[in-house]
Structure 1
Amino acid sequence: MNTSEAGIMHLTVHIDRAADDVYDYASDPSHLPAWAAGLSGSIEETDGQWVADSPMGRVVVAFAPRNGFGVLDHDVTLPSGETVHNPVRVIADTAGCDVVFTLRRRPEMTDDDFRRDADTVTADLATLKHVLERA
C-alpha cells in the first residue's frame, strides 16, 4: 500500500519474516546491491564510508546507528554534494513486518521524476521482500 500527500509518499511492503531478520539484513550496507538497484549497483567501504555506484553516479550512503526500534534511516550524498535524507522503518506485525519508506519530493523534481523515484523505491522494496521471503 502506498499513500501520497503533497510531495510525500509512504511506500510500504509487507514481508513474511520477523522484523529483526529484516532489519538485520537491510541495515547492512553490503547487502544493498542485492535488493536496492535504485541506489546501488555495487558498494564498498572506503575510509569508513560506504560508497556506491548508483544510477545517479557515485554516492555516499550513511545509515542511522543500529537500534532496537527498526529505524533504517539513511542519508545519500549525491555527486553534486546534496544530501538526501531517507526515513525508513521496519515495523513488527504478527505475521511478519512492514517496511515503510518515506519518499520526499525534492524541489527540482518534476511530477514525472517523482513518479519514477517512487516506482524505483517500490521495485526495490519488492526485491527486498523477494530476497527475504525466499531465504
Structure 2
Amino acid sequence: MGQVQWAIESVTIERLPSEVYDYASNPANFAEWAVSFCRSVRQSGGQWRIETPEGELALRFAEPNPYGILDHYVRGEVGPERPSHARVVSSGAGSRVIFTVFRAVDPRDRVYALDCRDVKADLLALKRALER
C-alpha cells in the first residue's frame, strides 16, 4: 500500500475562535467562503445542497462541537461522501483555521496542487469575510 500524502493549509483570522467557528460551521455561509467550488447553497428537504462546477452536491458539517472541528462532507447522487477536514484553534488574540488536504488515490500531481491552491483561496475568503 502506498504512502498517504497530505498538505496543511492555514490562515490566521483576527476574530475569536468561537466567532470563526460559528460563522464557518453555518452551512448558510458556505458559498461566502468556499469560493473555489461552491457557487450557491440552499436548504432542500432537510438537507443542505450546493451548486458546484461538478453539479449539485449534498453538504453536511460535523455535529456542532466545542472543539472547533469544522469537518464538512460533500456527496453527489452517486459515489462516496468526500470529507474535508478543518479545525479552528486559538492563536494569540485571534484564531487559526487549519485545513488538511489529502491526496486522492493516484491523482495527477497537478490536481493535488490545484486542490491545495483552492483550499488556500477558500481560507483567505473566510478571513476576508470575518475581518471586514
The TM-score, its normalising length taken from structure 1, stands at 0.90
Measured after TM superposition, the shift of residue 113 of structure 1 is: 0.5
From 16, 19, 22, the equivalent of 1:21 is 19
Query: Could you say which structure has the greater relative contact order, defined with CA pairs below 8 angstroms and 6 or more residues apart?
Result: 2
1:69 alignment partner in structure 2:
67
Report the equivalent of 2:97. 99
Determine the C-alpha separation between the residues in 1 that align with 2:73 and 2:13.
23
Q: Helix, strand or coil: the match of 2:38?
A: coil
Structure 2 match to 1:34: 32
Counterpart in 1 of 2:114?
A: 116
1:26-67 Cα deviation digits (max 9, x unpaired) = 000111111112231111111111110012221111100111
Alpha-carbon contact 1:50-1:60 (below 8 Å) kept:
yes
Q: Which runs of 4+ in 1 moved over 4 A?
A: none
CA contact (8 A) 1:42 1:52 kept: yes
- The RMSD of aligned alpha carbons is 1.5
- In structure 2, what is the equivalent of residue 85 of structure 1? 83
1:69 partner amino acid: Y
How far residue 11 of structure 1 moved from its aligned partner, in angstroms, is 0.7
Within the candidate set 32, 35, 55, 2:53 is matched to 55
Stretches of structure 1 lacking an aligned partner (at least 5 in a row): none
| Contact 2:13–2:94 under 8 Å retained in 1 | yes
Letter in 2 for 1:89: R
Structure 2 residue runs of 5 or longer lacking an equivalent are: none
